[in-house]
Amino acid sequence: MIDKHRIVEVDQPKLRRVVVAVDPSGTSGGADAGDDIGIVIAGLGVDGRGYVLGDWSVNLSPAGWARRTIEAFDHFKADRIVAERNFGGAMVESTIKTARKSAPVKLVTASRGKIARAEPIAALYEEGKISHVGTHSDLEDQLFAMTPAGFVGEKSPDRADALVWALSELMLGGPTYNITALT
């Protein structure tokens, strides 16, 4: 499904909105410190389609992933940062705001499990409404490891989670489909 709708590039003016979604981990960062911090950039086209623009996921300290998030925000001329509050809530927002005080941050939290959150996004892929701009190998590997029985990959599906948050914000109205907006 991904390859069928993959495109080489999308022009920024053809996008109505762009968001950077962050799925922070509870680790301190570093190559051997555990899970990565999922940072995925997606856009909503004037054609109503979702576009996965980038995977800037990292394994850095909180200050490091916050700087990386702001770099992605600037690079893609994003409108908003959507961040999961799973580890610390206000601390996640504060970490991002330390990197840039004026960053527009929307905190979200899951009211159901990963698979339930991902199902509406999987349906959009099945309907051919999502295109990946370029190749995002690590992200796509995680997406392939999402099954109805759960995630069958190694570690956490941090990139896949960030993608679900980004596309949910853009295409499903955020608080719909088992996602609760906090701000």
Q: What span, in angstroms and rounded, lies between the C-alpha atoms of 7 and 51? A: 9
Q: How many domains does the chain have?
A: 1
86 lies in which domain range? Answer: 2-181
Provide the whole-model pTM.
0.88
Structure tokens at 125: 């892929």
Contact status, residue 76 vs residue 20, Cβ threshold 8 Å: yes
Q: What span, in angstroms and rounded, lies between the C-alpha atoms of 44 and 16? A: 6
Residue 96 sits at φ, ψ, to 5 deg, of: -65, -40
Contact status, residue 115 vs residue 143, Cβ threshold 8 Å: no
Contact status, residue 38 vs residue 158, Cβ threshold 8 Å: yes
pLDDT at 113: 73
Q: What span, in angstroms and rounded, lies between the C-alpha atoms of 103 and 96? A: 7
pLDDT at 25: 76
Q: What span, in angstroms and rounded, lies between the C-alpha atoms of 38 and 60? A: 11
Structure tokens at 179: 């996602």
pLDDT at 9: 72
Ranges of the chain with pLDDT below 50: 175-183
Domain of residue 170, CATH code: 3.30.420.280
157's CB contacts (< 8 A; 6+ apart) are 38, 114, 142, 145, 146, 151
pLDDT tens, position by position, 71-83: 999 999 999 999 9
Structure tokens at 180: 């609760």
Strand partners, 146: 151
